[in-house]
Structure 1
Amino acid sequence: MRIDLHAHSSVSDGTEPPAEVVRRAAEAGLDVLALTDHDTVSGIAAAAAALPAGFTLVPGMELSCLHEGAGVHLLAYLLDPAHPELAAELRRIRDDRAIRARSMVERLRNAGVAVGWERVCELAGVPAGGDGPAGAAGESVIGRPHIARAIVEAGAAADVPEAFDTWIGFGRPGYVARYALDALRAVELVRAAGGVCAVAHPARGEATPDGAVPLALVEQMAEAGLGGIEADHPAHDEEEAAFWRGVAKRLELAVTGSSDDHGELTGHRLGCRETAPEEYARLIRPATGAAPITAE
């Protein structure tokens, strides 16, 4: 059984619709895929409707979190998105994404980059009118990759990585801070909503100068109910992956492996990293908020 527990669709910052992500996953030889769009589960229904026979979809999302002002990403699976407290936080995160994105576009334009708000919304698949929220049920959410793609189209960067490095990365002219959940509270909320969670790409966070998620924070999250660590990620080298596998073993957490595929932006890499079946079973065992969806 081949399992990939981290992938994005055009509902957030991937380039393909949920149904196409599922099709590509099956084509890549996967048996289980978690769709983990940023701060929303609004792509799950479309993905579930497109499942080929025998294929399993794990409903999930990638939560935007903070620790001492720096970004930490948390993969949340099989939660109940209607849980009142979690739903309120997700709404606040998604609303702030739209406000933040508009502010970033304004900063870029003031810096001489001809990025249009309407084009950013078009790339994200959200309505361009007004200042209202994006990412509610049935909608997409705006992320920095959408702005980066608009920057490239405007000729101010050669590609998306350069757009981040030059214009919208932390400390760059177009950067605007965002609202996000405290990482420990996020773990607690996911568990309260019946879900399970894993730290995403822990060697490539934003919480320390070298990008790693602090080990002390992971230990605290484990005490709060963290279920796994995404040790095997395309951005981790062998030493980093081995380190985080060791941390997971010491803390008695599941070791996950995932592609973190964003479609064209990451070279269609579904299945390039995988989670062992026994680790997958261990991770999802405590979940009560939702169940994996398998097509008959």
Structure 2
Amino acid sequence: MAAAAHRFEGPSDLHLHSAVSDGTEPPADVMAAAHRHGLRTVALTDHDTTSGWAEAAEAATSLGMTLLPGMELSSRWEWRSVHVLAYLVDPDDAPLRALTERIRDSRLTRAQEMAARIGRDYDLTWADIAAQTSDGATVGRPHIADALVARGYVRDRAEAFGGILSPRSDYYVALYAPDPVTAVSRVAGAGGVPIIAHPAGRAGVLPRPLLTEMLDAGLAGFELGHRENTAEGIRILSRVVADRDLIVTGSSDYHGQGKPNVPGEHTTDDDMVARIVGRATGSAPVYP
């Protein structure tokens, strides 16, 4: 079915993670969880990888759901992470693939260095961390956190991220990530639709000059429906949305047991889903 002829009938959750990155469930189980919560359009957005798309597509369509293949691309501005949701990119686009491969390589070497540092003070080995990952998954801090939980050093991921794995900790190692303008440009260049994830959290809204650069590079909008956003940040970004006629999404950022977030706790309006699909040229939704 052509995208232009398809009527999106929500609810739609456009930010879900599987065990391919830092979620705790295989892509098929993530789709099943979304379906149990009444969702009808979803996006799998694992960090810096598209490797879960095929499994998610098969599961979603078998359940009568529409899948928007996506990804959450890492970027960094000064000290803070800026995550760019990338919908309907061409997964074979060479510049984007090169960028995500570099980020994933950095995640692995970073995790190995952090494991070595932690291992000097705690009985934690690389084998402990590897045991917390699924085949082909991108190893990251959440897997180290899960290993620390399994060893009994912390109660949950939140405690690990607040202490041992915190950027303030001596165990912390920085991750390579491109600047946000480059990230947006790569997504747009791959025919995708870039949306800033949880853009109004406790770290504050990005400076307007940087947002303008990102918009000029192809940024399509903001994920304003997210539990981490603050009311003041939403108010500020809503003015930008109105000024530039941007896309607004709402999503759960579901990670299975890795976070308390529940599928469908925030959703995206049907007309906004249609705008994303209409703007994309890299790949197409997978319809049931």
1:73 pairs with one of 83, 87, 91: 83
Distance 1:171 1:37 in 2: 26
1:204 aligns with 2:201: yes
Distance 2:153 2:205 in 1: 30
Q: Alpha-carbon deviation of 1:53?
A: 4.5
1:59 aligns with 2:69: yes
1:181 aligns with 2:174: no
What does 1:119-198 align with in structure 2 at a 5 Å threshold?
Answer: 119-126=128-135, 139-198=136-195
* Cα distance per residue 1:162-218 (max 9 Å; x no partner): 11111111121221001112210111111111111100111237xxxx344333322
Q: Which moved more, 1:233-242 or 1:40-49?
A: 233-242
Q: Alpha-carbon deviation of 1:84?
A: 1.0
Report the AA paired with residue 142 of structure 1: V
Match of 2:48 in 1: 39
The percent identity for this pair of structures is 44
1:49 aligns with 2:58: yes
Match of 2:96 in 1: 86
3-state SS in 1 of match to 2:47? coil
What does 1:245-256 align with in structure 2 at a 5 Å threshold?
Answer: 245-256=238-249
Match of 2:223 in 1: 230
Q: Alpha-carbon deviation of 1:85?
A: 1.2
Report the AA paired with residue 251 of structure 1: R
Report the AA paired with residue 161 of structure 2: F
Structure 2 unmatched ranges of 5 or more: 1-9
Match of 1:97 in 2: 107
3-state SS in 1 of match to 2:128? helix
For these two proteins, the number of residue pairs brought into alignment is: 278
* Cα distance per residue 1:261-288 (max 9 Å; x no partner): 1111223500000111111212332211
3-state SS in 2 of match to 1:164? helix
Distance 1:191 1:237 in 2: 27
Q: Which moved more, 1:261-270 or 1:176-185?
A: 261-270
1:216 pairs with one of 194, 204, 209: 209
Instruction: Tell me how large the CA RMSD over aligned residues is.
Output: 1.6
Q: Which moved more, 1:152-161 or 1:142-151?
A: 152-161
Match of 1:6 in 2: 15
Match of 1:118 in 2: 127
Match of 2:254 in 1: 261
Q: Alpha-carbon deviation of 1:235?
A: 1.3
Distance 1:212 1:242 in 2: 10
What does 1:15-26 align with in structure 2 at a 5 Å threshold?
Answer: 15-26=24-35
Q: Alpha-carbon deviation of 1:88?
A: 0.9
C-alpha spacing 1:268/1:66, structure 2 compared with 1 (3 Å): closer
Report the AA paired with residue 40 of structure 1: T
Contact 1:204 1:235 survives alignment (8 Å): yes
Distance 1:230 1:246 in 2: 14
Q: Which moved more, 1:49-58 or 1:190-199?
A: 49-58
Displacement over 6 Å in runs of 4+:
none
